[in-house]
Amino acid sequence: MASQDWFDKDFYKVLGVSKDVSQSELKKTYRKLARQYHPDSNPGDAKAEAKFKEISEAYSVLSDEEQRKEYDQVRAMGSGARFTAPGGAGNGGFEDVFGSMFNQGGRGQSYTFQQGGGGQYDDLLGGLFGNGRFGQSTGGYRGYGGPTPGQDVSASTTIDFQTAVTGETVHLTVDGETVKVRIPAGVTDKQRIRVPRKGRPSPDGGERGDLYLTVTVRKHPVFERDGLHLRVNVPVTFAEATLGATIEVPTLSGDVVRLKVAPGTPSGRVLRVKGRGVATKKGTGDLLATVQVVVPSHLTKAGEEALKAFEQTLPDENPRDELLAKAKASAR
């Protein structure tokens, strides 16, 4: 940073803090601003990137006790001071600055400097303030100064269906370190979970990166997810579907609920059990039981005769008449 910046820029104002701000509060404020204006959070936003550079410059000076002390001393001399080359005209020049520092008028003094690395001007100021380079800063995002966050880490884990529905705390090994991760209730297959500050550490004292965990959920032998609902296929006999019955239906917790099948229930009808689905902070789903009418694969002689007698009592109608009519109409 050019030396003149220390006269022209109010780093306390840039960060929005008072001149007596503590280091802990300063760090807290910087982190908040850095997250807000970081280029990674504002891709393609030149104004945000410029603001990030500005706050990083300010923090790189004020976070260093020695540089902050030097900065306060320089600012105390007056923000209107300007540096001029030897012999330059005008008041408030380079000579005035050092004249006031050493209780001298400063007139008639001769100084030379050149910009860039190795300049006598920077060396002189560095020597005066006990610092190798005046205002020099290292590290940070693209050389802007300030701590950089650690790298994010990607990981994956496989959990059973029950854990995905109810949630659970699991322990993973990431980069040789054991990490505790809370799997939220209702997580879905292939969902990506962000775990803040569980990534790699910062190289220069900044915040750790994040862990991004991809979850694979094993299939359940009985239940399937449908959003927050759980679905299960329930077989019923021909007689139960025809005459009606009360049947037992399993739930994910292991107990059973009793449902009433109305007389004449067709295959595919859905029976709903309120509140027995997936429970999350966003709501709770239901258990949806789909009736599947089971046709007997074999009959006894007596059963076959009884069924034929039953068929004779049915109305003389074809249940496929409507289907055939619709297909014929659409083919015209």
- Confidence check: pLDDT of 278 > 90: yes
Predicted confidence at residue 5, as pLDDT, reads 63
- Poorest-confidence range of 14-28, 81-95, 178-192, 302-316? 81-95
Q: Per-residue pLDDT tens for 224-243?
A: 999 999 999 999 999 999 99
| Residue 4 pLDDT grade (very low, low, confident, very high; cuts 50, 70, 90) | low
Secondary element (H or E) of residue 53? helix 46-62
For residue 266, the model assigns a pLDDT of 95
Per-residue model confidence (pLDDT) at position 75: 79
87 against 27, higher pLDDT? 27
pLDDT tens figures, 178-196:
999 999 999 999 999 999 9
Contacts of 265 (CB under 8 A, 6+ apart): 236, 241, 244, 291, 293
Domains of the chain with CATH codes: 5-143 (1.10.287.110), 153-217 (2.60.260.20), 224-327 (2.60.260.20)
Band (pLDDT 50/70/90 cuts) for residue 256 is very high
204 pLDDT higher than 90: no
- How sure is the predictor about 130, in pLDDT bands with cuts at 50, 70 and 90? very low
Q: What pLDDT is recorded for position 146?
A: 65
Of the ranges 58-62, 76-80, 245-249, which one carries the lowest mean pLDDT score? 76-80
- In this predicted structure, the answer to whether residue 223 has a pLDDT above a threshold of 70 is yes
Max CA pair span of the chain = 129
C-alpha 267/C-alpha 307 separation (Å) is 19
Residue 256 burial (CB count, 10 A): 11
Res 24 pLDDT > 60: yes
Check pLDDT > 80 for residue 265.
yes
> What does the block give as tokens for 99?
């004249």
- Between CA 332 and CA 326 the distance in angstroms is 10
pLDDT at 67 over 90: no
In this structure, the number of other CB atoms found within 10 A of the CB of residue 109 comes to 14
pTM over 0.85: no
DSSP symbols for 230-261? EEEEEEEEHHHHHH-EEEEEE-TTS-EEEEEE
